[in-house]
Amino acid sequence: MRIMVAGFQHETNTFSATPATYDSFVNGEGFPALRRGEALHELENVNIAMGGFLAATRAYDWDIVPVIWAAACPSGRVARDAYERITGEILDAAQAIRPDAIYLDLHGAMAAEHHDDGEGELLGRLRAVVGDDVPIVVSLDLHANVTERMMSTVDAAVGLRTYPHVDMAETGSRAAALLRRLCAGERLHLRWKRIPFLIPVNSGCTDMGPAQDIYRSLGRGEGDGTFLSFAAGFPATDFPECGPVVWGYGSDVDALRGRLDTLYEDIVRREADWQVSLLQPAVAVAEANRMADDATRPVVIADTQDNPGAGGDARSTGMLRTLADARVSAVLAAIWDPATAAAAHAAGTGRAIGITLGGHPGIPGAEPFERIFVVEHLSDGRCRFEGPMMHGTEIGSGPSACLRIDDVRVGVTSRKVQLIDRSQLHMLGIRPERERIIVVKSSVHFRADFGPNSEAVLVAGAPGPIPANPADLPWRHLRPGMRTSPLGPTAP
């Protein structure tokens, strides 16, 4: 059997003004760089869904035909040109290959400049090319905004079950198993339901409840051939189908219905538990400094409201200003500022430079930070993830620098990248195990590598473009009646 495989991933924050361009996908911005054809097999040992799928199919008698894999850091809408170029490659390949089956590694929350439902549009076009008899199976992110068009177009969809996403490869392997069942002629029934409220990103962390309990329950009962998924949704994509969805497949429709209804009820009855709570920046820094006095490992603070992994630009300065004012010993990584990185490289190590660092227009408390810094370390920005989140991924942050003001060091990169792996600090000349306080521009993904190697994790609500509470966003297009946060107000 000829199995066509491809991947196209983006998590779109429609409230962000920074688009995802074609170059964003070429570089990857913290994901593996764009690959075509046989080069996709280089991903087999990387902890992403495509890698898990390809590794699993080594044991199958399949002829794998790889096309393209592309991903970019979450941001504003995908530029029309980027969307059409990558989608066009997938559709042209399907037309030429005429595959027996298709696997796509998708995110599920992509919005392009001209399509709110990026994946639904891609899948609809793909189905029109290959017809109804070719099985299509997709893997989806835990933060997918699953749409009716997506569900009605694919033969099966499999969602991630961990956040941080440490089960990407495992999910790709489960997608391969489902596709194999379909190729063998098995008929799978589908059932799915929408959750009536948006879930904050931080609340979806599967290291703790309620998400931990919910996601652990998904695997129970799979012995009867029923597979369940729960996408908590990405609560920053302003279109009618934004929000959490539970779905499942099975050969026994009654067993499937019972398991899915139980899952739905378990999520909804815990609505209050999905609410989010943050510390004020000064409180977080003071608490971290107190805890660090008796700690042998660093205390980590998440600067969650400027998380590039949710569409932030990694340019807000609220946490930096708080650290400097508190005169603590700390590290903050990483601010996206190509001009500052270039100035540091031009000056050289050990030189003092007067710069205006970062800044986010229109957000009080996130203004540019103007001071004299010492250039402590320079780097080409390349590193390889050694932690469990996307283990094996090689990224390029562009020319990067570590700058110091008093006892505070700041990582600066030329490309926007979420800080999730300790190797990103090593790249900046920083030994994380020796630090008292580490502030990361991330929400949850950093926990996979930093969590086991830290004294504690705190989450701060410094001013930034990505409100941790989705009810604080100016929603316009949610479907009426959808609650914009757990127990929160409904959409107009």
- Residue 219 pLDDT: 86
Q: What is the percent of the chain where pLDDT is above 90?
A: 97
Peptide bond into 210 cis (omega under 30): yes
Residue 224 has pLDDT above 80, yes or no: no
Please determine, for residue 376, whether its predicted confidence score (pLDDT) is greater than 90: yes
What is the C-alpha to C-alpha distance for residues 315 and 476, in angstroms, rounded to an integer?
26
- Predicted pLDDT of residue 179: 97
**Are 369 and 357 in contact, with CB atoms under 8 Å apart?**
yes
The yes-or-no verdict on residue 222 having pLDDT over 80 is no
pLDDT band at 468 (very low <50, low <70, confident <90, very high): very high
Would you identify the CATH topology of the domain 2-274?
Answer: Rossmann fold (3.40.50)
Strands annotated E in 186-236: 189-194, 227-231
User: Which segment of 183-197, 209-223, 282-296 scores lowest on mean pLDDT?
Assistant: 209-223
120-157 burial: b if 16+ Cβ within 10 Å, else e: bbbbeebbeebeeebbbbbbbbbbbbbbebbeebbbbb
Task: Give how far Cα 418 sits from Cα of 8, 200, 329, 373, 423, Å.
Answer: 19, 18, 22, 23, 12
Task: Using the predicted structure, report yes or no on whether residue 223 has a pLDDT greater than 80.
Answer: no
| pLDDT value at residue 92 | 98
Q: How confident is the model at residue 492 (pLDDT cuts 50, 70, 90)?
A: confident
In the chain, domain spans: 2-274, 281-468
Q: Is 304 in contact with 459 (CB distance < 8 Å)? A: yes
What does the pLDDT read at residue 361? 87
Sheet with strand 227-231: strands edge to edge: 189-194, 245-250, 227-231
- For the chain, the farthest-separated pair of C-alpha atoms sits apart, in whole angstroms, at 70
Q: What's the CA angle centered on 271, arms 269 and 277, to 5 degrees?
A: 150
Beta partners for residue 193, in sequence order:
246
- 3 state SS for 268-299: HHCHHHHCCCCECHHHHHHHHHHHHCCCCCCE
Average pLDDT over residues 399-404: 98
Rounded Cα gap, residues 55 and 491, in angstroms? 43
**Burial call 225-251: b when 16+ CB within 10 Å, e when fewer:** ebbbbbbbbbbbbbbbbbbbbbbbbbe
Q: For the chain, percent helix, then strand, then coil, each to nearest 5? A: 35, 25, 40
Q: What pLDDT score was predicted for residue 220?
A: 82
**pLDDT (tens digit per residue) in 242-262:** 999 999 999 899 999 999 999
Which has the closest alpha carbon to 301: 105, 457, 430, 97? 457
Asked whether the predicted pLDDT for residue 436 surpasses 90, the reply is yes
Question: How far is it, in rounded angstroms, from Cα 338 to Cα 313?
Answer: 12
Query: Which element (helix H / strand E) includes 2?
Result: strand 2-9
> pLDDT, tens digit, for every residue of 232-243?
999 999 999 999
Contact predicate 104/158, CB 8 Å? no
pLDDT score of 301 = 98
Which of the 8 DSSP states describes residue 23?
A: H
- The candidate with the shortest Cα–Cα distance to 313, out of 441, 447, 141, is 441
Distance between CA atoms of residues 197 and 207, nearest Å:
21
For the record, the structure tokens of 135 come out as 């099985």
Sole residue written with tokens 């079950």: 161
Q: Which helix (H) or strand (E) holds 97?
A: helix 80-97
Q: Is the pLDDT of residue 290 over 80?
A: yes
Cβ neighbours for 483, distance < 8 A, ≥ 6 positions apart: 196, 197, 198, 489, 490, 491
Summarize pLDDT for 2-15 with one digit per residue, the tens.
999 999 999 999 99
Sheet with 456-460, strands from edge to edge, namely 352-357, 369-379, 400-405, 408-413, 330-336, 437-440, 299-303, 456-460
Residue 453 above 80 pLDDT?
A: yes
Strand order in the sheet with 156-159: 35-36, 63-71, 2-9, 101-106, 136-140, 156-159
Q: What is the mean pLDDT of the chain?
A: 97
Weakest-pLDDT range from 30-34, 156-160, 305-309, 360-364: 360-364
Backbone φ, ψ for residue 462 (5° rounding): -65, 155
Task: Give yes or no for residue 295 having a pLDDT over 90.
Answer: yes
The dihedral sign for the CA sequence 419, 422, 424, 429: positive
The pLDDT of residue 221 is above 80: no
Identify which of 49, 11, 21 has the alpha carbon closest to the alpha carbon of residue 390. Answer: 49
Whether pLDDT at 270 is above 90: yes
Q: What was the pLDDT predicted at 392?
A: 94
3-state SS record for 299-361: EEEEEHHHCHHHCCCCCCCHHHHHHHHHCCCEEEEEEECHHHHHHHHHHCCCCEEEEEECCCC
The model's pLDDT over 99-138, given as tens digits with 9 standing for 90+, comes to 999 999 999 999 999 999 999 999 999 999 999 999 999 9
Q: Check residue 274 and give its pLDDT.
A: 98
Neighbours of 305 (CB within 10 A): 28
